Amino acid sequence: MKTYIPVIGLEIHVELKTKSKMFCQCSADYFGAKPNMHVCPVCMGMPGALPVPNKTAILWMQMIGRALGCKLKKNSKFDRKHYSYPDLPKGYQISQYDEPFAVKGKVLITSPYLKGGAKEFHITRVHMEEDTAKLIHEGTNTLVDFNRSSVPLVEIVTEPDFSDADDVKTFLEELQVIVRYLGVSDADMEKGSMRLEPNISVRVAESSKLKDESNNSTFTLPKYKVEVKNINSFKFVKAAIEYEVKRQIEILEKGELPKQETRGYDDIKGGTYSQRSKEEAQDYRYFPEPDIPPFEFSDEYISRIEKSLPTLPSTRLAYFISSYGLKEIDAFILTRDKKLADYFEMVLSNEKMKNAGQAVANIIINKKIATTFSVSEFITQFLELTKPIMTDTVLLDATVKAVIHANEKAVTEYTNGKVSVIMFLVGQVMKGMKGKADPSTARKALEEKIKAKS
Amino acid sequence: MLGTYTLSYGYYDAFYKKAQKVRTLIINDFKRVFKEVDFIIGTPSPITAIKLGDFEKYPFFGELMDKFNEPGAMAGIPGINLPVGLDRNGLPIGMQLMANYFRESDLLNASYQFEKETDFMGVIKKGVKNLNLET
């Protein structure tokens, strides 16, 4: 019985939310805008128009690279990638070929949703390019909207480290959180500001032993790979990958090799379909972009980027667990959003809130107090909510007596050693006091009275 | 078409990359010469003006006419073209002056001096008159 293991590498595109486009001053904010309103000769690819690189876009791309543990290159350049398509006005895309801004990184992800708790994934490269225009199909017509043309796009390429659709989803979610922490993109799959193209192959396990699947560096890569496009949401990630892996295994079982090609995911029909095959593969005729001089970054500029990064989600997660004593799942939830994590820490920094970490976490996660309140208002409400209840001792005394009298059997079980019964009795006292009692006070009173009786 | 061909798979090294290397040789050649001289004088085009429409007689007309301008353009050094006189048929003859990188002001100075020393504007006026271009 052969064991098949998926070999998956990811190409992820992240659209930056800079004010202006990558090579011109047009607004980069295209979502929902009237078509062809944010255009100029540069992003329309008109003859004679020259590109001017967006400094902020490059900086933000380098921040992403550094946050993914990459080495930021001192020397880099843009290249032209040539192909003909209606959404590519110049007939080439300004991209990066052999000298990207960032290379060789790695991300250690800790997550309660990862098998084994933590896993390291390797990044091949991170580079900068421009987005294409948007094609809108209306019946037999296709319309072109250039608002999106030349919007800054960051491409992240991972090593084929993934053997599992769940790992891919976890990685993508972590990447989304990291990019949002940096404040450089919304990384929203539904809106197209984060796009996934997994490259999927399947290999036959090389030994009968169940090897640690994350150690993918020791196997031979399959002689083909299939690129899958059009995965527009997190929920489609798992479905698309599982369909494709299954399809490839069926071919391999027949003793054939799956065709190296690009396939599109169809969420309606629920599968992948062929788009382009190797025979029609493009020759991109790369050469250095002659209109943009090559880059040389100072050591000082590069070290400044490192220093400017915020504390990343995985680091914060570990800190929340160790310093605030939170359960992993709660620390994970609080660190998914930087503003929420910041808010939590501001609340906890108040001197009245020492050791209240887990309690605050519970209240925030269960939405008992809204985080839209100011930190001081939150603290006030928190202290009010967790104030120990002043117990009416007279009423307590009477209620305890009544409960003991009405629950002889339970009291007997308790005195005979079944200690857990006390919780039932406490509940009865609370009921009798209509909740206006501090449970630990009630419990103590019960224990004393029962002891006194016996 | 030539660009697409020379960048195509398998040809990049033989053509594009090779051409980039040749360009470096041209750059180095100028660098060497400008150690010894301030200006290089030459002719900007191989011929004087031809009759309208006559270019069709010559394949590669554009490439031939550009011959003397391309080395300077390849190297990225500044140059200037000046009218110097007329040939037997009254057609204009030009001169090009090339200088090292960032020596544009020297080029303009030399051109101005040349214009003052020679009957610069007179030559042009004569040419215009000879060819009955005045209306």
Nearest to B82 by CA among B110, B47, B104, B51: B110
- Check whether B135 has a pLDDT greater than 60: no
Confidence (pLDDT) at B134? 55
Confidence (pLDDT) at A13? 97
- B9 to chain A: which residues are within 8 Å by CB? 283, 285
Report whether A182 contacts A60 (CB < 8 A). Answer: yes
CA A37, chain centre distance (Å): 32
Please indicate if any CB of chain B lies within 8 Å of the CB of A287: yes
Q: Which residues of A190-222 are buried (b: 16+ CB within 10 A; e: fewer)?
A: eebbbbbbbbbbbbeeeeeeeeebbebeebeeb
Please indicate if any CB of chain A lies within 8 Å of the CB of B8: yes
pLDDT band (50, 70, 90) for residue B133:
low
Task: Name the residue with tokens 């940096």.
Answer: A182
Dist CA A156 CA A70 (whole Å): 11
**Which residue is closest to B16 within chain A, CA to CA?**
A287
Please indicate if any CB of chain B lies within 8 Å of the CB of A82: yes
Please indicate if any CB of chain B lies within 8 Å of the CB of A97: no
Average the pLDDT over A259-285 and give the result.
84
- A82 to chain B: which residues are within 8 Å by CB? 4, 7
The residues, any chain, with a CB within 8 Å of residue A167's CB and separated by 6 or more, are: A114, A119, A121
Please indicate if any CB of chain A lies within 8 Å of the CB of B33: no
The percentage of residues in chain A with a pLDDT greater than 70, rounded to a whole number, is 95
- Return the domain boundaries, chain B: 1-33, 38-130
pLDDT band (50, 70, 90) for residue B128:
confident
Average the pLDDT over A220-231 and give the result.
91
Adjacency order of strands within the sheet including A92-95: A92-95, A79-82, A287-288
- Check whether A333 has a pLDDT greater than 70: yes
Q: Residue A384 corresponds to which amino acid?
A: E
pLDDT digits (tens, 9 = 90+) for A385-440: 888 777 677 888 888 888 888 888 888 888 888 888 888 888 888 888 887 777 77
pLDDT digits (tens, 9 = 90+) for B16-74: 999 999 999 999 999 999 999 999 999 999 988 888 888 888 888 888 899 999 999 99
Average the pLDDT over A137-158 and give the result.
97
Cβ distance of B16 and A287 shorter than 8 Å: yes
Average the pLDDT over A364-381 and give the result.
90
Cβ distance of A286 and B16 shorter than 8 Å: no
Q: Residue A98 corresponds to which amino acid?
A: D
Does A63 or A112 have the greater pLDDT score? A63
Please indicate if any CB of chain B lies within 8 Å of the CB of A286: yes
- Check whether A243 has a pLDDT greater than 50: yes
Cβ distance of A82 and B4 shorter than 8 Å: yes
- B21 to chain A: which residues are within 8 Å by CB? none
Q: CA torsion sign, A36 to A40 to A43 to A48? A: positive
pLDDT band (50, 70, 90) for residue A49:
very high
- Structure ipTM: 0.70
Average the pLDDT over A165-176 and give the result.
95
- Return the domain boundaries, chain A: 4-302, 311-385, 393-453
pLDDT digits (tens, 9 = 90+) for A5-26: 999 999 999 999 999 999 999 9
Does A384 or A144 have the greater pLDDT score? A144
A173, A365, B131 from A181: Cα distances, Å: 12, 20, 74
Please indicate if any CB of chain A lies within 8 Å of the CB of B9: yes
Please indicate if any CB of chain A lies within 8 Å of the CB of B2: no
Cβ distance of B8 and A283 shorter than 8 Å: yes
Q: Which of A152-156, A216-220, A363-367, A424-428 has the lowest mean pLDDT?
A: A216-220
Helix (H, G, I), strand (E, B) or coil at A286: coil
Cβ distance of A283 and B9 shorter than 8 Å: yes
**Which residue is closest to B12 within chain A, CA to CA?**
A285
pLDDT digits (tens, 9 = 90+) for A180-224: 999 999 999 999 999 999 999 999 886 644 455 445 456 788 999
Q: Which tokens go with B46?
A: 């191989």
CB-neighbour burial class of residue A253 (10 A; exposed 0-12, middle 13-18, buried 19+): exposed
Average the pLDDT over B102-115 and give the result.
95
Nearest to A428 by CA among A418, A419, A437: A437
Pick from A83, A92, A285 the residue to mutate for testing the B interface (most B CBs within 10 Å): A285
Average the pLDDT over A93-103 and give the result.
97
Confidence (pLDDT) at A214? 47
Report the topology of domain A393-453: Arc Repressor Mutant, subunit A (1.10.10)
Confidence (pLDDT) at A279? 58
Confidence (pLDDT) at A278? 58
- Check whether A453 has a pLDDT greater than 90: no
Q: What value does the mean pLDDT of chain A take?
A: 91
Q: Residue B7 corresponds to which amino acid?
A: L
Confidence (pLDDT) at A116? 83
Confidence (pLDDT) at B109? 97
